[in-house]
Every structure is written in C-alpha cells, then in structure tokens.
C-alpha cells in the first residue's frame, strides 16, 4: 500500500482529471451480495439513483479490519474539525 500522503495527492489529481469518472455516493440505501458481486445502491451528489458493483473477492482483499479502522480514524478527525 502506498503512503497516505501520496494516496491523498493521487486522489486529488484524479478528482481533477477529465479522464476519470468521479461520482459521490451521497446516500447509501441498500446493500446486496449476489453470486460473486457486492452491490451498493443509493443516490449520487445530484440526487440520481446510483449503483456500484464490486467483485466480492477483491473487495474483501482490500477492506479488512485495518482499512476499516483507518476509515473510522479519518472520519473522527473530519467530524472533530466541523
């Protein structure tokens, strides 16, 4: 995994790139697992219905307790800044 500073810089560059589709899932309303896929459904930043699908195996490789703990830490920092 790359250092956090580089990942954050890369994320900002990708957000500004015209070659990358960047969507915000603003509201997650449902979750489903079907065969080898994980589906998250909700609404995007414009209020349109939006669904994203992940390969279950790859999702579990990336999202483990270490990543979940990092997400919680970053969210806590964000909430405290508000």
Task: Give the model's pLDDT for residue 63.
Answer: 86
Q: pTM score, two decimals?
A: 0.65
pLDDT, position 6: 53
Q: What is the mean pLDDT of each run of 10 residues along the chain (82 residues)?
A: 59 75 89 95 94 93 86 92 84
The vertex-10 CA angle with 53 and 29, nearest 5°, equals 30
For residue 49, the model assigns a pLDDT of: 95
pLDDT at 7: 65
Does residue 6 lie within any of the structural domains? no
From 49, 8, 5, select the one nearest 27 (Cα to Cα): 49
| CB-based contact 23:48 (threshold 8 Å) | no
Residue 14: its H or E element: helix 4-16
pLDDT of 29: 95
Range of the domain at 73: 23-81
Q: How many CA atoms lie within 13 A of 57 on its CB side?
A: 2
In a domain, 48, yes or no: yes
Q: Which two tokens stand for residue 30?
A: 């449902």
Structural domain count, the chain: 1
> Could you tell me if residue 9 is inside a domain?
no
Phi/psi of residue 17, nearest 5 degrees: -75, 140
- Is 39 inside a domain boundary? yes
């Amino acid at each position: 995994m790359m250092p956090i500073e580089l990942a954050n810089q890369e994320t900002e560059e990708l957000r500004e790139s015209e070659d990358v589709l960047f969507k915000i899932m603003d509201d997650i309303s449902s979750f489903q697992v079907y065969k080898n896929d994980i589906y998250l459904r909700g609404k995007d930043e414009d209020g349109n219905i939006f669904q994203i699908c992940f390969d279950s195996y790859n999702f579990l490789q990336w999202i483990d307790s270490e990543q979940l703990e990092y997400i919680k830490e970053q969210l806590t920092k964000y909430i405290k800044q508000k």
